[in-house]
Structure 1
Amino acid sequence: MLRLIFFLVVCTFVGVRSANLETVSDEDLINLIKTEKYVVVLFTSRDCERCNNFENKVILLREDLVDSLSAWVVRVVDSQLLRLYSTDKEPALVFFRHGIPLLCDGSLNEEEILMMFTENKEPTVKELTDDTFEHLTQASSGATTGDWFVMFYSTDCVECVRMIARWEAVGAKLKQKVNVASINKYTTGASTARRFNVYEAPEFIFFRHGKMYRYQIPRYDINAFVWFAKDWYKNARAETVPVPQSPFDDLVQMIANFLHEKPWVLKLGSITIGVFIIISVASRFRRKIQTSQKKD
């Protein structure tokens, strides 16, 4: 009898450990992200062996994630939402903290995933504005707040939205080494964007010891950004960080940027001025002819 009870307990335990993750729809996932503090989501697809292997990895972590974070651990199959968080195909593991996504590097093992999530329960990327940028970064003085890796973004930029989860992962990997931040180039960070001649979004600039290095590598994956901040920036052109602009200088830069982004305005203005000059000259010439005819 005792052997039978023991066998049933073991079978139950094994069944629980090997069971699949709870599957939710995209709509249910959106509701979870909105209402729950911590949500761990595995994006998977049907008939995908890599997905099954990754799911087994997450299943082994599920109990620890629930115990340490009180997190919901679910999966979605063939989700349309994945494109918002990753450029890769399934599988992908995303950790939502207060709705902010953190994309997990697929090469991590179970222990590294658990450590990454528990050490980054709060968003890692700092939000900067025109009012806080220089005070927090001390970019032009190269003083005591350390190195900063900043993403200039805009809310109407699809690539910027897709960068959020990856940029959070960059912040997690560079934690305690580099400050990772973001700033809206069109609203609360418009003046700062003009200061650094940022025209496109997203654009990335690494600030270190009074110098700035533009990230111009055509790769937007997590490891490429981390590698750049740790060492590769030395291969980029070092620029002296410009000092904060006066209101007048900022206005001049705003006009210059506007003309740079909308060159047709300058062309239209040139055409308008040209037409005005032609009309003015023609008008004067006509008046001279009329005056001459009156004298005759």
Structure 2
Amino acid sequence: MLLLYTVFLWSCGVALASDLVVLAGDMLESHLLESKTTLVLFTKASGCSTCPAAADELRSVLPSLDVQAYSVQDEKITARYADRVPALVMFVGHAPVLYEGPLLGDAFAEFVTTNREPRVVALNDASFEHLTQASTGATTGDWLVMFHGLSCDRCEALESRLQGVAAKLRNRVMVAKVSSETDGRETAKRFGVAPTQMTILFFRQGVVYTYDVSRLDLTSLSAFAVGLYKDAPSRPVPELPQTPLMLALQVVAGVAVVAYILMLIVSKQREAAQKKKGF
């Protein structure tokens, strides 16, 4: 009876605590729940010598992780989330986080337990300068930021890599994204990013470095953020643009200064006239 129940769960695509359920690629989205953490091991049915060992390592730690786990063998779906197989991706709700590291159970477990929340920060015009302090290079550290449009297939595919970089470099580099077409338009304009253009910039100590977006794998992105940015095109971070309110305040302040100077001149002239009459 227990065997029949197990087979039933497997056929429905329900992950057992100590095993991986093979899931068709087109079924993956329907198995990602908003409030759940889901592990997916992307593999190949043949031509991958390390895939079976990686699956065994993951199975060995599944009972302690309390997550649903699936194995997917679909090249098209794999390419959306990973650069090679085997690849482990943790979905926190629908946010994919790509793992990079040794194919060992203990490393898998540490990855899951330390990344239960997505680490990529969504920035907009109101929060960008406040959180990054890009123009001053002050206390918030280095930032790797992707600017993206609304309809950008490459940006969607890059999400798992960005989340992977944020997980791998946690406490070293902050990772963020900005929508260039919606609430991040002015910030994108400030850095010369076109609304529909996907651009990755690295901010460090008042300097902005431009990443070569022809290489969007997790390894290349991480290496850029920890050192290779030094070889990239760079420029000082542009000053914050003046808002209408700031311009108006500057005009008022200028008028006040001029009025004060005129008052001083008039006062001096009156004092001089009074002294002249006294003689």
* Fold agreement, TM-score > 0.5: yes
How many residue pairs are counted as aligned between the two chains?
226
Per-residue CA deviations over 1:84-104 (Å, capped at 9, x if unaligned) read 21344x432211112210112
Residue pairs, 1:72-83, within 5 angstroms: 72-78=68-74, 80-83=76-79
CA-atom RMSD, angstroms? 2.2
Residue pairs, 1:237-256, within 5 angstroms: 237-247=233-243
Per-residue CA deviations over 1:196-217 (Å, capped at 9, x if unaligned) read 0012532111111111111126
Preserved CA contact (<8 Å) 2:61 2:106: no
Q: Write the letter of the residue equivalent to 2:199.
A: E
Preserved CA contact (<8 Å) 2:24 2:74: no
Separation (CA, whole Å) in 2 of partners of 1:216 and 1:224: 10
Higher helix share goes to which structure? 1
Separation (CA, whole Å) in 2 of partners of 1:148 and 1:106: 22
Separation (CA, whole Å) in 2 of partners of 1:227 and 1:26: 30
Q: Write the letter of the residue equivalent to 1:150.
A: V
What is aligned with 1:208?
204
Shift of 1:105: 2.5
Residue pairs, 1:53-132, within 5 angstroms: 53-68=50-65, 70-78=66-74, 80-88=76-84, 90-105=85-100, 108-132=103-127
Of residues 179, 183, 195, the one that matches 2:178 is 183
What is aligned with 1:160?
155
Separation (CA, whole Å) in 2 of partners of 1:233 and 1:80: 31
Q: TM-score, normalised by structure 2?
A: 0.74
Separation (CA, whole Å) in 2 of partners of 1:201 and 1:166: 18
Shift of 1:27: 4.5
Q: Write the letter of the residue equivalent to 1:62.
A: R
Residue ranges of structure 2 left out of the alignment (5+ in a row): 1-17, 245-279
Per-residue CA deviations over 1:68-98 (Å, capped at 9, x if unaligned) read 3x1111112226422321344x432211112
Q: Write the letter of the residue equivalent to 2:56.
A: I
Residue pairs, 1:195-274, within 5 angstroms: 195-199=190-194, 201-216=197-212, 218-247=214-243
Separation (CA, whole Å) in 2 of partners of 1:184 and 1:65: 36
Q: Write the letter of the residue equivalent to 2:43.
A: T
Separation (CA, whole Å) in 2 of partners of 1:145 and 1:225: 20
Separation (CA, whole Å) in 2 of partners of 1:26 and 1:106: 24
Q: Write the letter of the residue equivalent to 2:31.
A: L
Q: Tell me: CA distance 1:156–1:63, structure 2 relative to 1, closer, same or farther (3 Å).
A: same
Residue ranges of structure 1 left out of the alignment (5+ in a row): 1-18, 249-296
Mapped pair 1:139 → 2:139: no
Preserved CA contact (<8 Å) 2:25 2:74: no
26-35 vs 138-147, greater mean Cα deviation: 26-35
